[in-house]
Amino acid sequence: MSPNDEPAEHEPGADAATLTIDLDALGANWRRLRDASRDAACAAVVKANAYGTGLERAVPALAKAGCRTFFVAQVSEGRRLRHVARDAEVYVLDGLAPGGAGELIAANLRPVLNSAEEVREWVAACGGAGLPAALHVDTGMNRLGLPADEALRLKAEGAFDGLGEALLMTHLVSAEDPAAPINARQADAFRALAQAFAGWRTSFANSSGGFLPDAPPCDLARPGYSLYGGNPTPGRENPMRPVVRLEAVILQVRDVPAGATAGYGSHWTAPGPRRLATIALGYADGYPRAAGGTDAKTRAGVPAGVALVGGVRCPFSGVLSMDLTILDVTDAPAEAAVRGGRAVMIGDGLEIDEVGMRAGTIGYEILTGLGPRYRRVYVGDGAGTGAGTGSGTGAGGGG
């Protein structure tokens, strides 16, 4: 390539894995969460490229479903969002970087103010205009936000009087575990705060928080993960519709005798004669290498990755390579386990939560890692019910 050649735009070839994103399921999930929020409005958290699904496609679909308020992590994400949703309310969770108020104001973004310093800077930068913002009070995470006692003291001192329309929020530490004692402590702390900040809008629940039995009432729910099909109630049936389906191409199939090993480092040994299939998907695609299937994991009873070939769960044989993964397809239908066939990595009942668990991580990391090499196919527009879209997403197989 000569120095003047522009790099070719990414165009997936015949060996590319296909990532199908069902925008109607996304919209339906948002409407379900909105309905579950009763009197509260429902926002959508679309940070990290809408949890890997593609911000430019997810946001218009969510807007079509009725969503008006969005949360991103970073200012750059807010600017991207502005191109596809001119009038939406957009909050930036990272808040205000030193000297950063100007770029937020220019893009009509609302900071989630995380400290007294950020409040002072924002009020000063707004020059008496009182622009909208959120105030994040930390009730147990010790990550971002003002400590509750400091927020109450500042409130009494009138430190927030220069803010415009303001949203009081906190973030839950263990919402996915209803038995965690910290849930009640955070709920109690937030109830007290809401009383002290009477007249402010309030926002409490993330995906799982909306399903806690004794969550305090609030004005704005803030789900992310559940919108994209993640289970907000781990251990119980997933009330959400699957949004993401990932299918990889089988490049080669071979039969190996007992005792043969597979993959780098020979970490997997055939327990008998096995049929192996190599697929064109690896850790460079964002699928965690830790999902590999090794003899050590088998001995220890530790779960490892699986894919569906012809509807049958096929375990990973050996560690993932950068671009390739080996499956044990011995039990798959012979007509499915062939060169040019497909292995379903996510979907058809293989949920992102399980994929995360089998990789020693969580579904969130699986979603946000979805790689740039995939052929991305979007189905629906957020308004449809999606029933019978033909995407195959979660239809059947799930049981």
Ligand X SMILES: *Cc1c(COP(=O)(O)O)cnc(C)c1O
Query: What is the contact surface with ligand X in residues (CB under 6 A)?
Result: 45, 47, 93, 171, 206-207, 222-226
Listing DSSP states for 282-327 in one string gives -GGGT--GGG-B-HHHHHHT----EEEETTEEEEB-B---SS-EEE
Phi-psi region of 101 (alpha: psi -120 to 50; beta: other; left: phi over 0): alpha
The reply, when asked if residue 322 is annotated as ligand binding, is: yes
By C-beta, is 70 or 160 nearer to ligand X?
Answer: 70
By C-beta, is 284 or 362 nearer to ligand X?
Answer: 362
By C-beta, is 29 or 294 nearer to ligand X?
Answer: 29
By C-beta, is 143 or 153 nearer to ligand X?
Answer: 143
**In the numeric block, which tokens belong to residue 160?**
């927030």
By C-beta, is 139 or 391 nearer to ligand X?
Answer: 139
Active-site option among 47, 283, 287, 364: 47
The reply, when asked if residue 240 is annotated as ligand binding, is: no
> Side-chain half-sphere of 187: how many Cα atoms within 13 Å?
18
Q: How far is the CB of 218 from ligand X (least distance, A)?
A: 12
**Pairing of the two strands 342-346 and 244-256:** antiparallel
Classified as helix, coil or strand, 189 is helix
Listing DSSP states for 266-293 in one string gives G-EE-SSSEEEEEES--GGGT--GGG-B
64 in catalytic set: no
**In the numeric block, which tokens belong to residue 43?**
């926002």
Q: How far is the CB of 207 from ligand X (least distance, A)?
A: 3
Active-site option among 155, 264, 364, 374: 264
Helix, strand counts (H, E) of the chain: 11, 20
CA distance 54 to 204: 26
Burial 192-214 (b: 16+ CB within 10 A, else e): ebbeebeebbbbbbbbbbbbbee
**Which residues belong to the active site?**
47, 264
Annotated binding residues for substrate: 143, 322
